Structure 1
Amino acid sequence: MHWVGTWAASAQKVEAKLMPPSLPELGNVTIRQIVRVSIGGKQMRVRFSNAFAKAGNDLRITAATVAVSNGSHKIKANTLKPLAFQGRSSVAIPAGKLMISDPLDFDLAPGADLTVTIHVEKHVNEVTGHRSARCKSFFQTGDAVAAPSLKSSVNTNTWFYLSGVDVSANENAAAIVCLGDSITDGRGSTEDENRRWPDFLARRLLANPETAHIGVLNQGIGGNTVCRGGKGEPALKRFERDVLLQTGVRWVIVLEGINDLGGGKTDADEIIAAYRRFIALAHKRGMRVFGGTILPCGGSFYAKKPQLEARRQRINDWIRTSGEFDAVIDFDATVRDPKNPDRMLKAADCGDHLHPGDKGYRMMADSIDLSLFK
């Protein structure tokens, strides 16, 4: 048996405007968050991050529990279990650090909705979380980590402090990291329905007996870039934390670069050089790296950027023909309009001509050859 990631979210700084309006500072508050795991297990542990806090700002979690979700802010009370940290019910996580809970016996079913509930003692300057959860997190004043429901709660669509869930799995089990931007983060998909392309991929893997032991870790950040600027730390900077230090990873899918091109300050050769860096770093860890071609964005607000389409085609041609990735996943070919190849198919488009909708994300996931993960 060994540890394998079953769920993850990329850590980033969460702005004050994303805090619940009635709780502008997260002090003496219970936070209940719901995540949909990929693979299951009989033992689990949870990761919490205080990566972006200012020096001296410990994240003090006084109590934490896990349970199977019963919808919204409710839990299945008979599944509730407390988390511990080196045998203690509370923990102080220093600024810039990650904390992993003690192993916990817990019957976690594949594809289950898991709630993680914590009580935070006081507000931390520069809160760490994930801006675009695509589902609700619930907040209630005081310590209610064991409550079967948070009847007085408010909610927001952001995850706070929670960065991963691992399960103890058989030796053949492993995880895939999906590294990307808002297209991997699921912008344009239906909220609260887990319809990002990594979600559809996870369901396909679970439904196939030959791949049902493979976890999927979504490390997409909306507005993220490969090289510079954008939301969150650029992929070049976050690659170690979000890929190399994830648990039980054997494969990486890289789908990122459209925001660099849309910003107009990064050329194709810089992005290709970054891809080569990703490949080299991952290969040193024994991981296989698959290159996802960049989707078309004709008709979007990015389309007016000079040279964007030529640079996108140059990058995609390199991904397809260089042989440097271990395999190619041709997302561009899957969703582009054959009559207007600089645009997405209408059926795949969420409407902004940059992000797919639910059908487009399903098309992307369905295009992936599962034999890549044998």
Structure 2
Amino acid sequence: GSLDVTAVHVSRSRGGSAIEVASDRRLTFAGADSVRLAPGTEATSDPLDFAVPALGDLAVTIEIGAAPAAVTGHPGSRTTSYVQAGRRASAPELSDAATTDHWYILAGLDVVPEAPGLAVVTLGNSITDGRGSGTNRNDRWPDDLARRLQADRRTRGVAVLNAGIGGNTVLEGGLGPTALARLDRDVLAPEGARWVILLEGVNDIGGARDSASAAAVARNLPLAYREIIDRVHARGLRIYGATITPFGGSHYDGAEREAARQAVNRWIRTSGAFDAVIDFDAVLRDPAQPARLLPLADTGDHLHPNETGYRMMADAIDVAWFLP
């Protein structure tokens, strides 16, 4: 059924469920306070004159009337949502709220920068979505990259749009639409997108059931990367390819899958198809066991980096690639 959104407010966050009351503003949709969403549709609010500080945290409060049993969400948001009954859209805080570390319903936030704004889009899976980073800490590698860009006066006008989806694939299967299927929506449609960082493929390789399917994935991933590169270049954007990080010791471990990872990484490094290459594999692998993550960068599942690993990834990116 439809989703009835009866009020949406935006404010600056004071941490937890608390908002900065003086900043609280109500959003409208074609002039109305409420909006009804049919399944599979999106609604964009009217523009709002609201100052957003760089790297600041905003609180979006959504009041829901009728709702279907299942709603869209971001399971890997690593950010707490506060859920409470009643008309509380402008409450200073939701002290009796239930908490859940997921986002629901919100598809995105468009910000109009003071100077002409440019953005880098990070297209990836759970490693880009930040699995292994801290809840409410904003320390995924794209967050760390955003901080580096803000710290350099030459790139202060460059935003980072995180298009990572946990479990995502390039070719088929996986969670969410594949990278190929969502390229237009998530990478090419956003206003101001100028650069793309592609870190995708580990779930395609990890899903290979035998040596034949692993070899097929190793053949097909470069073809899919070329299609992504061509579509990105056709829109005048630059695209940087990242090597697939180690997974030795994880549930993806296996000789055929490791051979596929090595073959795909060889192509990423040597094909010349990308505008530049970010060698995350070289940054994160253990020199003593190159098929495995460095222990200091490993969450312990031997697939996802921890906060230290994510910082190492962001530090390996040349901010000069994002000069306006």
Q: For 1:336-367, what per-residue CA distance to the aligned partner results, in whole angstroms no more than 9, with x for missing partners?
A: 11222111111111111111001000000000
Q: Select 2:234's aligned residue among 274, 281, 284.
A: 284
Q: Is the 8 A contact 2:115 2:157 kept in 1?
A: no
* TM-score (normalizing by structure 1): 0.82
- Are 1:367 and 2:316 matched, yes or no? yes
Structure 2 counterpart of 1:326: 275
Displacement after TM superposition at 1:88 (Å): 1.3
Letter in 2 for 1:261: I
Structure 2 counterpart of 1:7: none
Q: Is the 8 A contact 2:2 2:66 kept in 1?
A: no
- Are 1:105 and 2:46 matched, yes or no? no
Letter in 2 for 1:321: T
Aligned partners of 1:243, 1:125: CA distance in 2, in Å? 30
Q: Select 1:344's aligned residue among 270, 273, 293.
A: 293
How many residues align structurally?
Answer: 317
Query: Hey, which of these two has a bigger chunk of strand by percent?
Result: 1
**Counterparts in 2 of 1:1-374, with a 5 A limit?**
57-170=1-114, 172-264=116-208, 265=213, 267-304=217-254, 306-374=255-323
Displacement after TM superposition at 1:171 (Å): 5.2
Unaligned regions of 5+ residues in structure 1, if any? 1-56
Q: For 1:97-130, what per-residue CA distance to the aligned partner results, in whole angstroms no more than 9, with x for missing partners?
A: 2221111111110011100011111122542121
Structure 1 ranges of 4+ moved more than 3 A: none
Q: For 1:174-228, what per-residue CA distance to the aligned partner results, in whole angstroms no more than 9, with x for missing partners?
A: 1111111110011111222111100100111111111111111111111111111
Displacement after TM superposition at 1:58 (Å): 2.8
Aligned partners of 1:117, 1:102: CA distance in 2, in Å? 16
Aligned partners of 2:177, 2:86: CA distance in 1, in Å? 33
Aligned partners of 1:314, 1:262: CA distance in 2, in Å? 14
Unaligned regions of 5+ residues in structure 2, if any? none
Aligned partners of 1:285, 1:59: CA distance in 2, in Å? 35
**Alignment partner of 2:58: what SS?**
strand
Query: What fraction of aligned residue pairs are identical, expressed as a percent?
Result: 50
CA RMSD of aligned residues (A): 1.3
Q: For 1:298-317, what per-residue CA distance to the aligned partner results, in whole angstroms no more than 9, with x for missing partners?
A: 1111113x411111111111
The alpha-carbon distance between structure 1 residues 126 and 244, as it changes in their structure 2 partners (threshold 3 A), is: farther
Aligned partners of 2:63, 2:163: CA distance in 1, in Å? 25
Displacement after TM superposition at 1:170 (Å): 4.4
Q: For 1:218-258, what per-residue CA distance to the aligned partner results, in whole angstroms no more than 9, with x for missing partners?
A: 11111111111122222121222111222221111110111
Aligned partners of 2:115, 2:237: CA distance in 1, in Å? 16
